[in-house]
Structure 1
Amino acid sequence: MSNPAADSMETGAMLKAAVKCHQDGKLSEADRSYSAILEEEPDHADAWHLKGLIAYQSGRFEDAVRLIQRAIAVNPGSPEFHNSLGAVQEALGDTVSSIRSYVKAIENRPDFRDAYVNLARLRPDVAEIRFNLACILHRQGNNGSAIEHYRAAVRLEPENVIALNNLGLTLQEMGKIREAGHCYIRAVNLSPDFSEARYNLGRMYQLQGDSENAIEEYRRAIRTARGSSSRIFYNWALALQELGQYDDAIQRYADAVHGDPGYAEARVNRSLLLLLTGRFREAWPEYEWRQRRSDWLSANPVYPDLPSWDGSPLPGKCILVQAEQGFGDTIQFVRYLSLVKNRCGRVILEAPPVLHPLLKSLSAMDEMAAPAPENAQRADAGVHLLSLPGIFQTTVETIPMAVPYLHAPAEKTGKWHSRISENGFNIGVVWSGNPAHPENSMRSCDPGHFVSLLSLPSVNLYSLQKGPAADRLRETPGFAGIVDLGPELHDFSDTAAVIMNLDLVISVDTALVHLAGALGKPVWTLRYHQPYWVWGTTGETSAWYPSMRIFRQHRPGDWETVFRWVQHQLKEDVLS
């Protein structure tokens, strides 16, 4: 008695071997193998189809038609079979039948690119074919070819606003912003109520830094939008935010959330604006939505079996506090560990190892560990570090201000004492942060700006710069006047020890300013033009660090004015 399962496995092995011969160009051997399969299984559609392809490759087109039609009779729903039949019919010069076969292939699989390519070759004058092929190519990431066929579709149907809009999108993805804008403008001129094109035109203006025109297009898009308008409201809010219209931006984010309650990006952005405008209590619940964003989830370990801590007292129990986001965020918010410790018996801090030598000075921490699932097994509850301000209902007035709350190792501090000049005013400088930060190019400045401070009497400069940006110092005229300590700083505790021997730190907005602030040392933070909730929108003082002074850019990229003010303040307040 035959075993159907075993027979099927044997046939599969035979087919695989036959296909290998076919791919290796051993057509006769492959053809015999396909025939052997058909003797065992007369309705084996793939074998009929592959025999047909061999006939096609051998120039036996009539035989190929017959064989592929046998395959289609067994499996009429296969788009590949109909596409192959179309190719054979095209080789026979039967264009009408070939087109019919390609159409049938597309009916069976509407996104079948190969059939559309073949059809477009035969009927290049049909706009619908060119448009559909362009859409498929666009979805598959083949933007160059997609643009070619979108252009053809628009040429054949100049009033096809959907093709114009899609052409604009594809051009925009390739960085051709101006050309994309022409497409969107043509589309909205032809169809003023075409909300999608209005939205894309707004996005184009926004990418060009023209927030006012972007907002106007978003307004028009909302009036005619069908279905959810959340993404329009979201980008409208971003444009308002660029213009500093924070209250209106907060409302637009709320509109986005109203249309899509699960819109995590809108909720988080709204929370950051609420924080920026001092509405802390309203902001913290929304800020928790950061943990639903894909970028947060990919960067931060989550232990689903560990109960979340909500701030309730857990006497004698252990709470795992997980650091998150950047080094500066961790340094800023570990101040909350003393509050956590007051409500439990034991605190484990999970943080990147590079921070451990510095953070071990925290008195409220019982144990420190690198991120690992095993940490959760030793805890009764867990919480992420930046959830703590919300748990403790922090307002601007109740920020924990027990500064310093971090301390440099005494041994390292003593070692560096002999390396820092005893004469003059000693300043540590940093001009760039983590190059992986999305805004690092905006927040960084040229080290030459610091060299200009050497013209002041009695000023000694020490570079604390780490990473690739440190090499820029040696490319800067006059750099020899700055002592480069960067190569000797192996972790944050080394940097902390140096800072304790300095009179002042001047740095762009990086983790270093948080470190100096947490140590209670004077620090001047050079903030680029975009406001950030931690530093507020105006003023020179920080609600988080009493020893900090903030110098703000008022125009994008204008570090010259910032450093003129720094130089003036050094003369007036420090060196006079």
Structure 2
Amino acid sequence: MTTLPLPAPAFDDLLRAASALCEAHRFADALALLDPCVGAAATPEDAALAPALDLAALSATGAGDAARAQALWLRCITARPDFASAYRGLATVCTALGQLGEAEMLYRRLLSLEPNDADARSNLAVVLLRLGRHPDAEAAFRALLAQRPDHADAHYNLALLLKDQQRHAEAESGLRAAIAANPRHAKAYNVLGTLLRDQGRIDDADAAYREALRIEPQFPEALNNLALVLKMTGELAQAEFACRLALTIRPQFVDALNNLGCVLNDLKRPADAEAAFREALAVAPDHAEAMYNLGVVLHRLERLPEAEAAYRETVRRLPRRVEAYNNLACVLMAQKRPDDALDVLAQALAVQPDFAEAHFNVASIDKEFGRFEAAEAGYRRAVAARPDYGDAKFRLATLLISMGRFEEGFARYECRYTMPGFVHHATQQLLQCPMWQGESLAGKSLLLWQEDGLGDMLQFGRYARELKARGAKHITFVCMKALHRLMRNVAGIDAVLDHDAGSAASARFDCWVSPISVPHRLGTTLDTIPAPLALEPEPALVAHWAQRLATLAPGPRVGIVWRGNPQHNNDAHRSLPSLAALAPLWNVPDLRFVSLQKGRGEDEAQHPPASLPLLHLGTDAGDLADTAAIVAQLDLVICVDTSIAHLAGSLGTPCWVLLPNTDLDWRWLHGREDTPWYPGTMRLFRQRPDEVWTAVVERVRVACAERFA
């Protein structure tokens, strides 16, 4: 069929009607109206039909038929090479379809026809940018802005280019210029927020995202970005709300799903976080960050094989993501596969030789296997790679102390005051007097401040008399109530307060110090450790507990403790699984066992096996003064690494301590069956590599049989 142009009035009416339908977004109706006029193929009348062809192509674009739109615009350009609107429309479609070479050619042809078309110049620069021709794109944007300094989109797109090139100051200026040219440029506010966030200007970023949302409330990218900022500032409930609002607008917004999972993980809702990450991966199976974060949450849930699989998939997709290697190594270590972990950490260091966390974990594995010099070197590499790496500095300090190198070890141990996650860091702001740095104490008042466990205070309380000997006029010991009665009579201590009272009174003291800092201040070495606390239990308490102990049949009295405080970071390794683990000891003839167990494990002591005549006193002991009065009347204490060991050592009661092989505490040094902190009193039974507690207890049983034969 040959298509003939309509008479001019009818043709103009047709165009007006089709235009009205397009403005109402009724593109299919507009195209149906124009179809009889434009036909399906080129005709000799196409030159006269150019406006209809152009409008039909626009309608086809709106209706989602890009191929039809391209064919119509090509007919229009062929018939009317000077018809600028067709170039504009066809260039836009080619850009959207990624046909960037064709788009560049069309925009350049359009600009030859309409040199002053600023939007065409801006769009050409965008095409050049997408083609990776960054210098050409920048030159094009700047040429346009020289002519049209008020062109908001040119400022915006140039800023995107500059941001990608890490030219942050120029990018920020460009975004602010875009906003000045168009105060309702929501996208510019959104990108500005991201630029500010990446520079650590969190409050300014928050304000930028909120302004983007004020202009365009249904802006899912800005909502998701605001959620990231809220997460960074700890406003997790609001961050969750922002993510969920973004997902209401765009249900399959994968970045918002991933971000929601991270927020839920921070909210300690790992099951919900897992669901969010799995939904993100259902939408975008190749989303490597969601896979990595799924590994993080599975790791937290201790579903180690699944976490391992997620991390392995992450490093397959992102072979340079060193954090994924490191986390995979941590999962392997948790599964008792240190050799596999070392292989993975080697891969991480091949990618990034100065990756501090990998050096730290290699050092930790070396330490657990007794390769102490290698561990020391590894921790030093971690600190060199990241000087603010608190955990590495702390581990290096404790390793050196455990190796008997007290001078450097205790000096480095002071790093705990620079670590925000440690209680020690807060003490400095809490107390209203300066920390003692080792200067003369002559005539001064000193606050000894407990920041660590009961056992630590018993071990290092010995330094009170040393400080007194160096001239301190008055020493007040601030500690937990469980220590109060016991410490009141300790040499060198003039008064005992709880933490609230000590904090309130701190301004009246000349200085304060933690007992564990004193070895560093005094230069203690392995050969100059002061004698233990010489504790003297109260006679009235001794008499009271003697009556309870008298109910035992004649024979050596052995105190036992098989569990420590479950809040201790290494309690899973240092505590025995149950009272039954000590059962071999029941076979040593004539021993009389006294349970000193408090907290977890008391229920076992209250209902011991019928074969074990156990006198349980731990529950009735009100504080450590009571426990001291009991321990002073025992022949031996057998315990895990907990405060009772230090109490026995300070009373001079023989004590045998069962020590774990994993994460052994620094105070026990290495390779010794004794300890210089309690010479002549304490014997150490160390769990050997791959040795179960049963074997350790059997060695204790043999030792008991020999001692009490």
If the TM-score is normalised by the length of the shorter chain, which range does it land in? 0.7 to 0.9
Give matches, 1:209-224, under 5 Å: 209-224=336-351
Amino acid in the other structure paired with 2:384: H
Instruction: Indicate yes or no: 2:414 matched with 1:279.
Output: no
User: What is the alpha-carbon distance in structure 1 between the residues aligned to residue 543 and residue 402 of structure 2?
Assistant: 40
Contact 2:557 2:636 in 1 (8 A): yes
SS in 1 for 2:592: strand
The range that moved more, 428-437 or 331-340, is 428-437
Q: TM-score scaled to structure 2, two decimals? A: 0.62
Question: Which is worse superposed, 535-544 or 268-277?
Answer: 535-544
Which residue pairs with 2:490 in the alignment? 362
User: CA separation of 1:424/1:167 partners in 2, compared to 1, >3 Å: closer, same or farther?
Assistant: closer
Post-superposition offset of 1:283: 0.7
Q: Distance in 1 between matches of 2:276 and 2:393?
A: 35
- After superposition, the Cα gap between the structure-2 partners of 1:170 and 1:487, relative to the gap in structure 1 and judged at 3 Å, is closer
In 2, Cα distance between equivalents of 1:567 and 1:490: 30
* CA distance in structure 1 between the aligned counterparts of 2:596 and 2:224, rounded to whole angstroms: 63
Q: Which amino acid aligns with 2:564?
A: G
- Pairing 1:520–2:652 present: yes
How many angstroms does 1:236 deviate by? 2.8
- Segments of structure 1 that go 5 or more residues without pairing to the other structure are 1-71, 85-100
Superposed CA deviations along residues 40-73 of structure 1, whole A, max 9, x for unmatched, are: xxxxxxxxxxxxxxxxxxxxxxxxxxxxxxxx99
- Cα distance in structure 1, aligned partners of 2:647 and 2:637: 10
Structure 2 distance, partners of 1:469, 1:299, is 33
Distance in 2, matches of 1:196 and 1:299, equals 27
Shift of 1:469: 1.3
Deviation at 1:480, TM superposition (A): 5.1
Determine which of 258, 267, 271 is the counterpart of 1:134. 258
1:311 aligns with 438
* CA pair 385-418 structure 1, distance change in 2 beyond 3 A: same
Deviations 1:10-38 (A, max 9, x none): xxxxxxxxxxxxxxxxxxxxxxxxxxxxx
| Equivalent of 1:416 in 541, 545, 549 | 545
The residue type paired with residue 443 of structure 1 is R
Aligned to 2:524: 394
Alpha-carbon distance in structure 2 between the residues aligned to 1:377 and 1:456: 56
Match of 1:8 in 2: none
Give yes or no for the alignment of 1:561 onto 2:689: no
Shift of 1:110: 8.1
Given that 1:78 and 1:108 are in contact with CA atoms closer than 8 Å, whether structure 2 keeps it comes out as: no
Structure-1 separation of matches of 2:222 and 2:372: 55
Q: Are 1:178 and 2:305 matched, yes or no?
A: yes
1:113·1:137 contact (CA, 8 Å) conserved in 2? no
| Structure 1 residues 132-161: Cα deviation after superposition (integer angstroms, max 9, x where no partner) | 532343234351342223322553x4xx54
* Structure 2: distance between partners of 1:195 and 1:169: 14
2:584 aligned with 1:457, yes or no? no
- The Cα shift of 1:536 comes to 1.8
Check conservation: 1:500, 1:521, Cα contact below 8 A.
Answer: yes
Contact 2:220/2:247 (CA < 8 Å) preserved in 1?
no
Using the alignment, how far apart are the partners of 2:700 and 2:344 within structure 1? 41
Does residue 475 of structure 2 align to residue 347 of structure 1?
A: yes
Look up the equivalent residue of 2:377 and give its one-letter code: Q
1:409-443 CA-to-partner distances (Å, cap 9, x unmatched) read: 12222333344347211111111122222322322
Of 384, 391, 398, 1:258 maps to: 384
How far did 1:288 drift?
A: 0.2
Q: Cα distance 1:444–1:197, how it changes in 2: closer, same or farther (>3 A)?
A: closer
Change (3 A) 1:150 1:206: farther
1:187, CA displacement in angstroms? 3.6
* 1:332-364: CA deviation from partner (whole Å, max 9, x where unpaired): 001111110012222111111221111122121
For the residue of structure 2 that corresponds to 1:494, the secondary structure is: helix
Q: Is the 8 A contact 2:444 2:510 kept in 1?
A: yes
Listed one character per residue, the Cα deviations across residues 299-338 of structure 1 (whole Å, up to 9, x for unaligned) are 9744453122122222211111112210000000011111
Q: Distance in 2 between matches of 1:110 and 1:82?
A: 18
Q: Deviation digits for residues 538-572 of structure 1, max 9, x if unmatched? A: 23111111201111222567221122111111111
Equivalent position of 1:548 in the other structure: 682
Q: CA deviation at 1:407?
A: 1.4
Runs of 4+ aligned structure 1 residues displaced above 6 Å come to 72-75, 103-111
Name 2:460's counterpart in structure 1: 333
Secondary structure at 1:433 match in 2: coil
Q: Which residue of 1 aligns with 2:536?
A: 407
Q: CA deviation at 1:517?
A: 0.2
> Quick one: which amino acid aligns to residue 424 of structure 1?
G
> CA 1:235–1:494 in structure 2 vs 1: closer, same or farther (change >3 Å)?
same
Q: Distance in 2 between matches of 1:108 and 1:551?
A: 55
Quick one: structure 1 residues 103 and 279, their matched pair in 2 at CA, closer, same or farther if it must change by over 3 Å?
Answer: closer
1:41 maps to what in 2? none
1:152 to 273, 282, 304: 282
Number of the residue aligned with 1:243: 369
Q: Which moved more, 1:378-387 or 1:172-181?
A: 172-181
Over 3 Å counting, the alpha-carbon distance change for 1:485 and 1:557 in structure 2 is farther
Count matched residues: 477
Contact 1:116 1:133 (C-alpha < 8 Å) held by counterparts: no
Separation in structure 2 between the aligned mates of residue 504 and residue 105 of structure 1, nearest angstrom: 65
For the residue of structure 2 that corresponds to 1:330, the secondary structure is helix
Gaps spanning 5+ residues in structure 2: where? 1-181, 187-210, 230-241, 266-271
The 2-side partners of 1:140 and 1:415 are apart by 54
Distance in 2, Cα, partners of 1:361 & 1:523? 23
Q: Report if the CA contact (8 A) 1:454-1:481 is conserved.
A: no
Is the Cα contact below 8 Å between 2:220 and 2:250 reproduced in 1? no
- 1:482-521 to structure 2, matched below 5 A, reads 482-521=614-653
Displacement after TM superposition at 1:201 (Å): 2.2
Q: Secondary structure at the match of 2:534?
A: coil
Larger relative contact order (C-alpha < 8 A, sep ≥ 6)?
A: 1
Q: Distance in 2 between matches of 1:331 and 1:108?
A: 50
Q: Say which one has the larger Rg.
A: 2
Per the normalisation by structure 1, the TM-score is 0.76
What letter corresponds to residue 420 of structure 2 in structure 1?
S
Distance 1:424 1:103 in 2: 77
Q: Distance in 2 between matches of 1:377 and 1:116?
A: 51
Which residue of 256, 273, 286 maps to 1:143? Answer: 273
Q: Partners of 2:691 and 2:575 in 1: how far apart? A: 9
* Residue 59 of structure 1: aligned partner: none
- Cα distance in 2, alignment partners of residues 104 and 135 from structure 1: 13
CA contact (8 A) 1:427 1:461 kept: yes
1:205 corresponds to: 332
Residue deviations 1:377-409 (CA, integer Å, cap 9, x gap): 3311111111011111111111112x4521111
| Distance (whole Å) between structure 1 residues aligned to residue 222 and residue 280 of structure 2 | 23
The verdict on how the C-alpha distance between 1:423 and 1:187 changes in structure 2, with shifts beyond 3 A counting, is closer
Deviation at 1:80, TM superposition (A): 6.6
Deviations, residues 259-303 of structure 1 (Å, cap 9, x unaligned): 222222211111001111111111111100112233432797444
CA contact (8 A) 2:431 2:506 kept: no
Distance in structure 1 (CA, Å) of the matches to 2:320 and 2:183? 48
**Secondary structure of 1:550 counterpart:** strand
- Structure 2 residue aligned with 1:381: 511
Displacement of 1:113 after TM fit?
Answer: 2.5
SS across alignment from 2:564: coil
Answer whether contact 1:451 1:478 (CA < 8 A) is retained.
no
> AA paired with 2:276?
A
8 Å Cα contact 2:277/2:291 also seen in 1 = no
CA distance in 1, matches of 2:542, 2:292: 62
